[in-house]
């Protein structure tokens, strides 16, 4: 391919959700931070209607197609994300033509840190600027969400996109997914002598996609049974749980209802400047996902249990489950011991060696050049 046209660079970060898992598609509460790992989109408009896509990520084949030919399902693989942005913008009525898009991202792929939303959000921002579309954050997030739900075919909520676009440095983003209003809550781990450690288990079990869709369908079924538009509208959690038949459906609902309450308690603790107090809520969130929502796996449980045994204040799986990453809130002085213990436990189980990151609350998406 001839050299790519570049009119600017737009950056969008990955995210770690501190707490509020599987609540976004239930109109509930989430509390993500943006991480330093970022997708950068180098984008230039083309006048010939061609869409040329490239990524520095290993195994990402370059693609050259006509922007007007895009249709859901027509593209598989990584190129569906940037091409899906063009499709979603056109579907929303924006007159987007051809472009060159080169992606350079250091967000770990498939680790539950939302490399997909980082990529899509960077490209949405690029087109918003280049075509002066006047997109606000929420509309940009909806476009990026439609890339995944309608073009790629994964029924995701709005957490990843809103986090990548809306987070600010040094803060967690307390977001109400019912109306997408949010506030920034100070989250100063370092000031409290703590680290938020991310353990990428490198596991990705077959249930990832089907398990997610199935949980989502359960929540909708339960809301219908309870006669509410979504689980967020449940006024009396105990009565609602008692009204559901004893079994997996009731337990799944219990996860969602209790998880929303945990988010609110964590937000209160952070507003009081008490970062240490969130530890037990993280651990309770993990137990709820393991026992009630049943989305954990041996690698995630090993990471969480080992971190806790080594003195972590709290730990939980993050993201969809069935693999991906866990987080642990750890005293700075215990960080190395926790890391070493998790490595050792993974080796003892013959799991793939994990990777570790520190999640520092970072800036959301922006134009960089």
For residues 231 and 254, the answer to whether their CB atoms sit within 8 Å is no
Q: Does 26 bind ligand ADP (CB under 6 A)?
A: no
List, as one string, the DSSP characters of 211-238. Answer: HHHHHHHHHHHHHHHHT-SSGGG-S-HH
3 labelled ligand-binding:
no
Of the candidate spans 66-74, 110-118, 190-198, 286-294, the one that interacts with ligand ADP by CB under 6 A turns out to be 110-118
Q: How far apart are CA 139 and CA 88, in angstroms?
A: 11
Q: Which of 17, 105, 283, 362 binds ligand ADP (CB under 6 A)?
A: 105
Is 60 labelled as part of a ligand binding site?
no
**Residues from 49 through 78 that contact ligand ADP (CB under 6 A):** 55, 57, 60, 78
Residue 206 C-beta: closest distance to Mg ion, Å? 17
Asked if 161 interacts with ligand ADP (CB under 6 A), we say no
Give me the phi and psi of 36, to 5 degrees please.
-65, -25
Specify the stretch interacting with ligand ADP by CB under 6 A; choose among 66-74, 85-93, 109-117, 185-193. 109-117
Task: Give me the residues paired with residue 13 across strands.
Answer: 38
Q: Are 329 and 181 in contact (CB under 8 A)?
A: no
Length of the chain: 369
Q: Is 104 annotated as a binding residue?
A: no
Q: Is 110 annotated as a binding residue?
A: yes
Reported for 213-221, long-range contacts at CB under 8 A and 24+ positions apart, including other chains, are: 213/155, 215/22, 215/252, 215/293, 215/295, 216/25, 216/155, 218/248, 218/249, 218/252, 219/22, 219/25, 219/26, 219/252, 219/253, 219/256, 221/249
CB of 137 to ligand ADP, least distance (A): 19
Catalytic residue among 100, 160, 200, 292: 160
Judge whether 292 counts as a catalytic residue.
no
Q: Could you give the CA distance from residue 111 to residue 47 in angstroms, rounded to a whole number?
A: 37
Instruction: Single out the residue of 103, 141, 194, 335 in contact with ligand ADP (rule: CB under 6 A).
Output: 103
User: How many residues sit in the footprint of ligand ADP (CB under 6 A)?
Assistant: 16
Enumerate binding residues for Mg ion (CB under 5 A). 114, 116
Where is the binding site for ATP, in residues? 55, 110-116
List residues binding ligand ADP (CB under 6 A).
55, 57, 60, 78, 81, 103, 105, 109-116, 119
The residues assigned a catalytic role are 160
């Amino acid at each position: 391919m001839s050299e790519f046209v570049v009119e600017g660079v737009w950056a969008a970060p990955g995210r770690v959700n501190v707490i509020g898992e599987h609540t976004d598609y239930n109109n509930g509460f989430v509390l993500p931070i943006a991480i330093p790992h970022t997708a950068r989109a180098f984008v230039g408009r083309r006048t010939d209607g061609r869409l040329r896509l490239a990524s520095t990520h290993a195994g990402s084949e370059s693609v050259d197609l006509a922007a007007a030919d895009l249709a859901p399902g027509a593209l598989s693989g990584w190129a569906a994300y940037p091409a899906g942005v063009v499709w979603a913008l056109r579907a929303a009525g924006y007159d987007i033509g051809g472009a060159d898009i080169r992606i350079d991202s250091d967000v770990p792929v498939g680790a539950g840190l939302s490399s997909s939303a980082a990529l899509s959000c960077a490209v949405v921002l690029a087109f918003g600027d280049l075509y002066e579309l006047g997109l606000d954050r929420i509309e940009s997030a909806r476009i990026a969400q439609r890339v995944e739900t309608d073009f790629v075919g994964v029924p995701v909520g709005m957490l990843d996109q809103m986090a990548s676009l809306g987070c600010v440095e040094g803060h967690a983003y307390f977001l109400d997914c019912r109306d997408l209003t949010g506030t920034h809550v100070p989250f100063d781990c370092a000031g409290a002598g703590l680290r938020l450690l991310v353990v990428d288990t490198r596991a990705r079990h077959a249930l990832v996609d089907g398990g997610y869709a199935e949980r989502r369908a359960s929540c909708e079924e339960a809301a219908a049974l309870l006669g509410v538009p979504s689980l967020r509208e449940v006024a009396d959690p105990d009565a609602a749980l008692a009204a559901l038949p004893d079994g997996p459906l009731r337990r799944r609902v219990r996860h969602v209802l209790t998880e929303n309450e945990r988010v609110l308690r964590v937000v209160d603790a952070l507003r009081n400047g008490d970062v240490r107090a969130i530890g037990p809520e993280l651990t309770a969130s993990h137990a709820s996902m393991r026992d009630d929502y049943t989305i954990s796996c041996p690698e995630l449980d090993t990471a969480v249990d080992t971190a806790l045994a080594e003195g972590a204040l709290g730990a939980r799986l993050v993201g969809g489950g069935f693999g991906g990453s866990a987080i642990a809130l750890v005293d700075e002085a215990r960080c190395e011991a926790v890391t070493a213990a998790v490595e050792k436990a993974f080796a003892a189980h013959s799991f793939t060696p994990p990777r570790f990151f520190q999640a520092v609350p970072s800036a959301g998406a922006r134009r960089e050049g």
